[in-house]
Each structure stands twice: as structure tokens, then as C-alpha cells.
Amino acid sequence: MSTLNKTHDPAAKSWVETANLLEAEFSIQNLPFGVFSIGGGDKDIGVAIGDRILDMTAIEQHGLVRPDGERTVFDRAEINSFMALGPAVWSSTRAAIFDLLHIDNHDLRDDADLCRQVLVAMSEATMHLPIYVRSYTDFYSSQEHATNVGIMFRGPENALPPNWLHMPIGYNGRASTVVVSGTEIHRSWGQLKAPDEDAPHFAPCERLDIELEFGAIVGTPTALGETLTVADAYDKIFGYVLLNDWSARDIQTWEYQPLGPFQSKATATTISPWVVTREALEPFRVSTPERVKPLLPYLHEDAPGNFDINLEVQLTPEAAASVTLSATNYKYMYFSSAQQLAHHAASGCAMCTGDLLGSGTISGPDRSSCGSLLEITSGGKEPVSIADGATRTFLEDNDTVTLKGYCQADGHRVGFGMCVGKVLPAVVHRGHAGA
């Protein structure tokens, strides 16, 4: 279990001055990992600091930080090899980077030539998917979200399924369509059927939605047959990203019974490019909500498992100003990421380095804190106002959705950057008779 150390010092400052601004997301207390390239060049692994990226590929080559001795791990196009080294190495590497960037350390700061080689402007970088996503699982762990959706579909008496308060409900999604922030998304095709129709028809989705989620990334694997305590699971999580699980609600309504979402969630899942490490979030741990019913022992938490993370969803229509759709907090989640991972492994399912666990839609106690348009608009019955008198029930073509998130401490932030995606029109479908 992680504890606070020098990298969490709220008074610490960096010689990269933009990291010391009060609203800087990438403070020296953060140090998230990502993958970037400059001008179409090779992909390098980097750490965000202020408005700069510390090129860890170059740092490792120069011998300034070497997590695995003689073997290099930062000369890859993803951070999986580094994650596989485990928590002790994650922590020692974070401490070494912290020391290198600390305002009192002159080793790198005063070497102008080396600084030009290893410190690049974030504005010049193209960000890439930071991990090789081995598998993707999406959960359904916000009591507020599950209740809101359940009332729409089953009425208030049966809002939550009978198993919901006993375990994190989830399904296995498509790892192949996890994409990095900035990737444009084409509106999906699928079978649609209105309640008053006798048969379905095949057409582009008409009720495209977003889901504000938090993604946990498994760092160290488990063997087939191995199980985990919640504390074990907490330590196996390397870090976290913002996650938008694009959802075709009309396709989902027709297909989800009896086995759950399939094509409605397969088009794309967007994640933010910077992986904020679990250790960076340690000062922001909070307990999960009070239990309505007692959990079985294997899901018991000995320590707080949630985090106090401010979250926001913005919608930007084409050629119009942005509007905030939702503002909420991750602390409302009924099941933590560690509980989700412990439950996932409870059957002996092998978990792999690079597995991505989506939290499920994060909603708070009122309409302004709901994490999906399905909830915000009451299933499309109550449109939300946007720019110039226009409204939305669900997403329209050329809408851009931006997720934001940060933890606020006294004097600094630990931020996630942005998770952005734009909706493009559906492409011509080769198998559609009308194409």
C-alpha cells in the first residue's frame, strides 16, 4: 500500500516555472506518463511537467533515470514494459524524476544543451495512445447513474438490479477500439427498433451519447487461477485516465437483452493521453459511499479506495461556444477501481499488464452532475440548452465532447489533461442495401 513521501510535498516547486502555477495540471506532484512524437518522428515516452514534456526515452539513454538497470524500458511506443516492473520501481522512478525536476536540483536545469534535447514544448507534440490495451472491461458502478437509468427503463421500484449492491457489474468491451484523445469518431451503424415498430431496421445511430468515466490501468499481472484482496488490487493498478465510452443508446436498447451491450459500445472508447499514476493520487484518497447492504469479505476495503477528483463534461457544437453539460466528482462511485479489479480476478481470471477497467458512468446527486446525456435529458424528453438558443437531447454530427478532471490540493493541482472527441457523420456502410 502506498504512503505519502517527498513527491507529495505540497510546497515542492520545479525549475520548470509553468509547473508552479496554481492552476497548472502538471505540477511536480503529478508527473504523469504519456507517449508523444514531434513532427512525425518516432514515438517517445514522456512525463508531463508544466507546459513541457520530459523525454524519458532520451533521459534513459543519457543515464539520468534508468528504472531497470542496463535494460531499457522507455525506448518503446507504449509504457507497458515500464508498468510491468511493479510498484517499487514505479515509486523509485517517480522519486528520481521528481529530484531531477525539483527547483533545488541544478544537474539538468543548468545544462542548456541537454535541456534542449530532453525537454520539449507540449504544444509541439502529438500525443499517442499511452498503453497497449491488452483487454478492456467496462463497469457500472455509480449508484446514482444506475438508479437514474433503472428508473427510466424499469420504474423506481426496480431501478437497481437485485445484484447491483452486492458486486461491481461489468462486461468485456473492445480493446481494439480504445483510442487516444483527439481521435475523431464516426457515428455508428446498427439495428434500431422503436417500441411501436414490428421489426428493426439498419441505420446510423440517432441517439449517440457520451459516458463520463474513469479508467484504471493494470500494471502488474496475475496468473491464471490467482485471486486478489482489494488491497492487492489497489497496489496492482499503475495509474488512471479519463475515459469517454461512446454509447449508441438506440442500438443498446434493442440489443442489450439478455446479454448486455455489444455493438452499441464497440465503436470507440476515448482515453486521455496522460496516465496519472496511482502514487500521485495518494493524497486525495477518500472512502467509498456508505454501504446500503454489507459486501462479501473478498470486496472488503481496509483503506479508502476512491479519490476526490473534480470532473467536468463540455460540449462544443461546430462553430459555437462550449457549454458545460456536467460537473461531478469521482468520490461518488459506489465501487472503487480496486474493488472492480478484485472482483474481476475473483474467478481466477488472469489480469494482464495494460488491462483497462472503465469505472462506468460517473454521476452525482443531481441533474447537473450526471455523466451522460441519457440522464441529463431524461432519455431525450428534456432537451438541454446550448449556444445561440439551440438544444441537444443526444449528440449531433460535428459536436465535440471534452472531459476534464483534476485533484485540488493547497497550492497545486494534479490534473489529467483533456479527453476530447469529435463526432463525424456515419460513413457509407458497404453492407447496407441502401448504400
Domains parsed from the chain with CATH numbers = 6-128 (2.30.30.230), 136-424 (3.90.850.10)
pLDDT tens sequence across 330-362: 999 999 999 999 999 999 999 999 999 999 999
pLDDT for 433 = 67
Q: What's the pLDDT score for residue 1?
A: 46
34-76 pLDDT per residue, tens = 999 999 899 999 999 999 999 999 999 999 999 999 899 999 9
Nearest-10 Cα torsion for 82, 88, 94, 96: -100
pTM: 0.96
Among the options 102, 145, 343, 412, which is catalytic?
A: 145
* 288 vs 282: CA distance, rounded Å: 15
C-alpha distances in Å from residue 420, one per residue of 158, 241, 245, 354, 404: 35, 12, 12, 21, 9
pLDDT of 2 reads: 55
The whole-chain average pLDDT of the chain stands at 95
Count the residues in the chain. 435
Residue where the block lists cell 483510442: 179
Distance between CA atoms of residues 414 and 309, nearest Å: 9
What is the C-alpha separation between 396 and 378, in angstroms, rounded?
17
Nearest to residue 384, comparing CAs of 396, 375, 393? Answer: 393
DSSP H helices in 256-372:
337-345
| pLDDT of the residue at 155 | 84
- The residue behind cell 525506448 is 75
> Largest alpha-carbon pair distance within the chain?
74
Q: pLDDT under 50 in the chain at which residues?
A: 1
Cα of 138 vs its chain's centroid, Å: 11
Please spell the DSSP secondary structure of 377-418, one letter per residue: TTTTTSPEE-GGG-EESS--TT-EEEEEEEEE-SS-EEEEEE
CA-CA distance, 201 to 396, in Å (whole number)? 20
- Kindly tell me the burial class for residue 156, based on how many C-beta atoms sit within 10 Å of its own C-beta (0-12, 13-18, 19 or more): exposed
Spell out the residues 6+ positions from residue 65 whose beta carbon is closer than 8 angstroms to its own. Answer: 56, 59, 93, 96, 97, 100
What is the C-alpha separation between 153 and 138, in angstroms, rounded? 20
Q: So what's the pLDDT on residue 182?
A: 98
pLDDT tens per residue across span 159-194: 899 999 999 999 999 999 999 999 999 999 999 999
End-to-end CA distance of the chain: 56
- Predicted pLDDT of residue 434: 58
Known active-site residue 201: no
Q: What is the CA radius of gyration of the chain?
A: 22
